[in-house]
Structure 1
Amino acid sequence: MAGLVGPRLYSCCNCRNHVARHDDVISKAFQGRNGRAFLFSHAMNITVGPKEDRQLMTGLHTVADVSCCDCHEVLGWKYERAYEQTQKYKEGKFILEKSKIVKEDW
């Protein structure tokens, strides 16, 4: 029966809207504004805010905050551009803060 379970999902901590799949986790070793964060290759049911340059721990990046499309809780950000060559792998990826998401259907 374990093989019949659906995909493991992460949901918004506020309204339980599905925002990401566990299969899209690239790394759990990132830092957000409020503690640990996960790097995802994709996110869903989110809105992407305006782009802005931010000095992060790994250098200057152009990022856009991402929010739940239902309750508008800010969940993290999307990397739009990395200025340092070693950070280019983050472009187009999403940071979701661990404190802002919950495991769903595990």
Structure 2
Amino acid sequence: MAALLGPRIYSCCNCRNSVSHHDDVISKAFQGRNGRAFLFSHVINILIGPKEDRQLMTGLHTVADVYCSKCHEVLAWKYERAYEATQKYKEGKYILEK
């Protein structure tokens, strides 16, 4: 597992494993399964589950759940594919729930 340094680090709510740096936040205006979520360009110390198509608020996407590599807590998901042109910017990005 990699460690992140700096004043604004995002971590797993269960085990405090570092998962991203504040500089990797693209947007704070997202909705996860259980509330507010942030869109990140890069995350570390995660495991990625199998891909599946999911109907989200912004349309159909292929996503893969993202898990903490230390405690296996579900952190949210990775956008693998967006089917609508206006949503393509999300591809390869990660949603992490606050």
Is there any run of 5+ residues in structure 1 with no aligned partner, and where?
Answer: 99-106
Equivalent residue, structure 2, for 1:27: 27
Give per-residue Cα distances to partners, 1:49-93, cap 9 Å, x unaligned.
000000000000000000000000000000000000000000000
What is the TM-score with the length of structure 1 in the denominator?
0.86
- Could you tell me how far 1:6 is from its partner in structure 2? 2.4
The one-letter amino acid paired with 1:70 is K
The one-letter amino acid paired with 1:33 is R
The one-letter amino acid paired with 2:26 is I
State how far apart, in whole Å, the 2-side matches of 1:40 and 1:86 are.
Answer: 18
Higher relative contact order (CA 8 A, sep 6+): 1
Aligned length: 94
Structure showing greater Rg? 1
State how far apart, in whole Å, the 1-side matches of 2:60 and 2:33 are.
Answer: 15
Equivalent residue, structure 2, for 1:102: none
State how far apart, in whole Å, the 2-side matches of 1:11 and 1:35 are.
Answer: 17
State how far apart, in whole Å, the 1-side matches of 2:7 and 2:43 are.
Answer: 14
- Could you tell me how far 1:7 is from its partner in structure 2? 4.9
What are the residue-to-residue correspondences of 1:65-104 with 2, within 5 Å? 65-98=65-98
What is the TM-score with the length of structure 2 in the denominator?
0.93
Is there any run of 5+ residues in structure 2 with no aligned partner, and where?
Answer: none
Pair 1:62-2:45 in alignment:
no
Equivalent residue, structure 2, for 1:52: 52
Q: Which runs of 4+ in 1 moved over 4 A?
A: none
- Could you tell me how far 1:8 is from its partner in structure 2? 1.9
Percent identical pairs in the alignment equals: 84
Equivalent residue, structure 2, for 1:13: 13
